[in-house]
Structure 1
Amino acid sequence: MAAAGAGAAGAADAAGAAPGTAGGTARQDAVAAARRIVVKVGSSSLTTAAGGLDADRVDALVDVLAAARDSEREVVLVSSGAIAAGLAPLGLERRPRDLARQQAAASVGQGLLIARYTASFARYGVRVGQVLMTSYDTSRRTHYRNAYRTLEQLLRMGALPVVNENDTVATDEIRFGDNDRLAALVAHLVRADLLVLLSDVDGLYDGDPATPGTSRVGEVAGPGDLTGIAIGSAGRAGVGTGGMVTKVEAARIATGAGIPVVLTSASRAADALAGRDTGTYFRPTGRRSRGRLLWLAHASAPRGALTLDDGAVRAVVERHTSLLAAGIAAVEGEFGAGDPVELRDTAGRAVARGLVNFDAKELPQLLGRSTRELARELGPAYEREVVHKDDLVVLQH
């Protein structure tokens, strides 16, 4: 089966939308009604293949976003490009694979990236605010609230937030992994009405766009519409981390939280924000979920695992209760209080994820014992849940 989505921007001129999937009225209505929009742009749309920012590309994107603000919309920009922008200044020919050099490139490139945006938006009298995030910043309750308040205040004060992963300090354990997923989560965080994913690919295709007879998928109403489509990977430039796989996954996260998504090329950003038939439109499939639980499900990397007995699995999954020590059969991994952990059934399947209230060294002595017993023997600090229901998200039913 041919890989989809690996074509050049502009391929849709030669290949029209699949029959019955143009996404006309639904797309137009959703885009027209959107007052708060998150726009994500990939590295390949802002930089040259050799590294370094392309000022003309940045200005072209800013022109579109400034016009959207003039129509009384609020815009949050999730921008990749920090590592790619830092390659040429550091004499690197390609994106390094090791984390240390990636962080060094990000340190140099992030300053160049935000300076370029600041200068470009200044042409329209628009101030920008830089917001750098890791998954740690949003899976914790207080950090999540702080991230929301910062973004909300920037918008209220008329600034345009420019969000990126904090690559200078992010480790493998606290990375989002790609900015497509970060954009979907930011859209949920700021309660956006629309998510627009921009890259060097002009939409999702039902095959290799270079093969005659393939068509752009104009609309995706649900997971069933993706059956039989092999999702291709990286774009041509080779300076980013994402590909069509991450974009479709980001669309799944956002639409599952009630947010419509448009996926198209950066060169067609104006068409996307006008509701025209460009790229692929993903219809919402779910409702908005509780705040940071979406982040806990999709942004956190578990630091360990707790195996639950059958009764605890039913209590957590079906009755949505907190997890108590009495229902835990085994502990795996090294983690501290407040870290995300995976909750598994006796067959080893992940059924939930949550933030644990005890570290891995404390838990073994607590297993299988009631909170009343623990409080009596170890003190009142132990009369509490191992994972509180407010810090827990069910992964499968």
Structure 2
Amino acid sequence: DGAIAHYCGVLERLAANPEALRQVAEDLVRAGQHRAALDLVHPLYDPLIHGPWTGLALLQACTECRELVTGRALLHALFIGHRHELRDHLQTSANRFLALIDAPETAESPAVIAPVELCVVPVECPVWWSFLRQPDWLRPVRPADAPLVAFAALASAGDDTARTWARSIPLALAETFSFRCSAEAIALMAVDVGGATPALADLAQPWTADEAFAFARQGERFADFVITGQVVEGGGRCQVTLTVYDAARRLTLGVLSRTGSSSAVGAMLRTLEAELAQTLHLPLGDDALGVYASPHPLAAADRLAALDCLMRLHLAEHGVIAGPRLLERCALIDACARLVEHGSATALDRLLLLAAIAADAASGSQMYREHHDLALTLVEEDDEPGSHFRRASPLMLWLFDQQRDFRVRRDELLAETGDPAYREWLARLGEEAAQIIVIGDDL
């Protein structure tokens, strides 16, 4: 009590001194006085004035005291203002706090575990398309009688990487087949609807043949082919196995498998794509739109991580599951930023970054603004006529409030193209931007 009274006196005299506030917070936390740290220091703490380290000590106190509301607000403020400064320190503290949120509530009576009740939700590919305001000029058009290939979520064995790849490999394969062959392709995600809140399900075992044939009747169309399988990853090694079904004839066409270093997952997927195309008799050619490009093998893990998070944002936007947490949205934009900064970055990588920024903005977050300089540099550097990213760049300019540049770029692009689909998309974007500008002027 005497020590706490001493710190009260210090704060009365030196509350405006950032270093004094930090010292008091850290001393109290080290002494195990977590509640006192929150009661004395938190009411005085301003992240912009007192810096990140005091906030980090308070976040630790929130974890120990199970102060979820205060902790969430602190974590958000620290990520917004100090993520790059704190780096691994913040990640470690954030993981401890988020583990507290995710931990099941303890009770004297045994907890009732909700039974797993799976449903399969179709995800149209490419998954990033809707976040770009549904640009028809960036989406392949297939005849009504084109075969439909359904890529189901894979089972997984291993750590978080295995679970991420189990969801994102079907998305990546569906995207490849959508752009590069004469078929239509979708992904099928497994959602557990048995609990209080629907969530993506992690599959321990691959789907059976009967389940795969049942998937063929998802939605309004009958899938001609269904692809299931499993990802095993750990210790720097991974194995990807795909089982190929002809749903119309209820036949198993084959089992394809690749094993190798986890860092070679991109190369493994390329060879699996080629073998799968042969098995289905659907040759892979060049993308007629010029949109699709396979990631560099060293960038494949970031591409898969980005597709996984975009899919979760897509399902959250449609009310299927809860939205990704703050750290996961950060990871999405960071993965996309690494893709565009890679030496072999493609136009599709830049479109993915734009989709990630638009998705983050749509969720009400401001996290994407950390990448302001990178985003606008990409827009400025891409002056190639006909470039898909250049054609989509008005959306980037609008998201970052570059209204004058938005209007200039829009008028340039309208003068360059007579494509009705593109002009219609640009007109819709202009109407949306005009509404925002009018509201801003009124305020």
Asked if these proteins are the same fold (TM beyond 0.5), I'd say no
Greater C-alpha radius of gyration: 2
Greater relative contact order (CA < 8 Å, ≥ 6 in sequence):
1
Which structure has the highest strand share of the two? Answer: 1
TM-score normalised per structure 2: 0.23
Instruction: Looking at secondary structure, tell me which structure has more helix per residue.
Output: 2
